[in-house]
Structure 1
Amino acid sequence: MRTAVITLCGGRLPHLRNQLRGIAAGSRRPDTHIVVALGDPALAAAVTADRTRVVEFDCAAPLPLAAARNLGARAALAEGAEVLIFLDVDCVPGPTLLARYHDLAATGEPALWCGPVTYLPPPPPAGYDLTRLGDRRAPHPARPDPGVDGVVRDGDHDLFWSLSFALTAETWRTLGGFHPGYRGYGGEDTDFGAKAAAAGIPLHWAGGADAYHQYHPVSDPPVEHRTDILANAAVFHRRWGRWPMTGWLRAFADAGLADYDPARDLWTLRSRRSVPSASATGGPPPGIPAAPGSRYTP
């Protein structure tokens, strides 16, 4: 089955180059790698890897990540891809990630396949040694770690994350892609998982499909994204009748940045309140839980 990797990139060329090195070193190569350039016209000239094609997406903040993934999928399908592997630009694939995703999707089972992700510490001055990433393997504890050849079946759809997952082209068409109403940070992953649950498409956790997330600072809670998060949470609530990212919403409320009206079941942003200092960390996004549960519980 023809396989495509789909990556979004805007201003993170060093991370993309590490990802390309990881793909080249893997036990299986994709038939095509679609890189969607998010308002980054210089990217096409900088990316010359074999089987890699840059698709331009002229956009501005807040970035339409959902629509960009859909664009990448359309480009991959136009090239005859039968297996779609989505990999965030921050993620370096482990040596068996592509092979494992391909083989599981090739069984023909309609499913979302998600692999373990290790969040890396800051790189040394010379950068990460990509041949030794396995020595740092420590998958995020909020997600199952099935073992090299294992599969944990029928997972919680609210734990779906788009930074590393795979599905067949047929399953993608069944789901209709990501909902384009989401812009900026947060919400589109949970919506995609909800669509899969509603369609009866299970979420399975794929051992051996390891990815290594390159370090970059994040804040806890992500106050710089609060406007996007509140707007996207409202989109999700209108579509599914419940609030996503409740851990972040509660954290904003505790910081005096948002209010919840239980009578109207409504979250609103306190836009005139000064923003408190955010603590920078290098771990996973703070909205991802430390133990299984709501995806956005800190």
Structure 2
Amino acid sequence: MTIVAGREEHLARQQQALARGTAVTHVVVGMGPQPGSTVTLQADGALPLARARNAGADIALAEGAELLVFLDVDCIPGPTLVERYADAAARCGPTLLCGPVTYLPPGSTDLVPDPHPARPDPPDGALVPEDRRELFWSLSFAVTGEAWHRSGGFCEEYRGYGAEDTDFALTARDRGLAMAWVGGAHAFHQHHPPTRHDPARVAEIVANARLFHRRWGTWPMTGWLQELAAAGAVEFDPTHDHLTTGAQT
């Protein structure tokens, strides 16, 4: 399942890779008009990332899917990604299954695993339990239909970029879902400038961070918020629970 707004070339490379692997039903949720989408959601202003993922899951489950694999449009699946997720799902109870992600350099589509060092990279076929819910990422993960229903899906109060995935992981934890890393479920993230560097996204990040703080009592994305504060895009003082858009002089 993929959500998308623009990035047609990224989507095309993802679809080509999926066609070469294990047979899947690929649900594509367009946030606004999108070539090749299964369904289109109206998207005025901030993209409805959480609502789009929920809508895609609903469609896949209605079509009989027993395993939901979520891939951001930027991600090219490795040749064994779906198979490894399916094997892992068969071996464990309700669990958020996460795979290693390699960030490709500009212009590259060479699928050579070199996963992000901040997250585990288990041996092929291994399952590594994870308690650190802040490491969950929505760009590549899988859940069974049963686990998805138990999780309640993504909180649709989040709009635009940031924090909805950590919120989902924490809610899933509170509803009894484990979390684990799946060796060999490699995805390859196609290069684009970091979304958090887009000035148009700063207000979304701030709004979502505030929402997360209200729901959980802690700040998400602290590294990003500190980076934006250093650039003068926000004021962020976690010791006094202060976050605003734009530095004050």
TM class by shorter chain equals: over 0.9
Contact 1:157–1:196, Cα closer than 8 Å, also in 2: no
Output the amino acid matched with 1:102. Answer: A
- Give deviations 1:143-166, integer Å, cap 9, x for gaps: 100011212113411100000000
Identity of aligned residues (%): 51
Following superposition, the deviation at residue 89 of structure 1 comes to 0.7
Looking at structure 1, the residues matched to 40 and 197 of structure 2 have their Cα atoms a distance apart, in angstroms, of 32
Q: Which residue of 1 aligns with 2:166?
A: 190
Whole-angstrom distance in 1 between the partners of 2:195 and 2:158: 21
Name the aligned partner's letter for residue 37 of structure 1.
G
Structure 2 counterpart of 1:40, which letter? P
Query: Does the 8 Å contact 2:104/2:189 carry over to 1?
Result: yes
Q: 1:76 aligns with which of 60, 63, 85?
A: 60
From 202, 209, 227, give the equivalent of 1:233.
Answer: 209
| 3-state SS in 2 of match to 1:86 | strand
What is the CA distance between 1:261 and its match in structure 2? Answer: 5.3
**Equivalences, count:** 249
State the shift of 1:258 in Å.
Answer: 2.1
- Report what 2:116 is aligned to: 140
**Alignment correspondent of 1:35:** 28
C-alpha spacing 1:163/1:262, structure 2 compared with 1 (3 Å):
closer
Q: How big is the shift at 1:11?
A: 1.0
Give 1:107's aligned residue: 91
Map of 2:233 onto structure 1 = 257
Matched, 1:200 2:191: no
Structure 1 letter corresponding to 2:23: R
* 2:104 equivalent in structure 1: 120
SS at match of 1:212: strand
Give the counterpart letter for 2:166 in structure 1.
Answer: T
What is the identity, as a one-letter code, of the residue corresponding to 2:82?
L
The equivalent residue for 1:20 is 15
Distance 1:270 1:76, change over 3 A: same
Deviation larger for 192-201 or 68-77:
192-201
Distance 1:22 1:162 in 2: 19
CA contact (8 A) 1:86 1:163 kept: yes
The answer for unaligned runs of 5 or more in structure 2 is none
- The 3-state SS of whatever aligns with 1:106 is helix
Q: How far apart in 2 are the matches of 1:163 and 1:14?
A: 17
Q: Distance in 2 between matches of 1:90 and 1:162?
A: 12
Higher CA-based Rg? 1
- Give TM-score scaled by structure 1 length: 0.78
Quote the offset at 1:222 in angstroms. 5.2
1:11 aligned residue (6, 16, 21): 6
Q: CA deviation at 1:178?
A: 0.2
Relative to its length, the structure with more helix (as a share) is 2
Q: Is the 8 A contact 2:235 2:248 kept in 1?
A: no
Q: Does 2:70 match 1:86?
A: yes
Normalised by the length of structure 2, the TM-score is 0.93
- Does 2:187 align with 1:214? no
1:293 maps to: none
> What is the aligned-residue RMSD (CA, Å)?
2.0
SS in 1 for 2:138: coil
**Relative to structure 1, is the Cα distance of residues 253 and 103 closer, same or farther in structure 2, using a 3 angstrom cutoff?**
same
Structure 1 gaps of 5+ residues are: 1-5, 48-52, 274-298
Deviation at 1:218, TM superposition (A): 2.4
Q: Is the 8 A contact 2:196 2:202 kept in 1?
A: no
Aligned with 2:50 (options 45, 54, 66): 66
Q: Distance in 1 between matches of 2:220 and 2:143?
A: 24
Aligned-partner residue type, residue 10 of structure 1 = A
In the other structure, the counterpart of 1:280 is: none
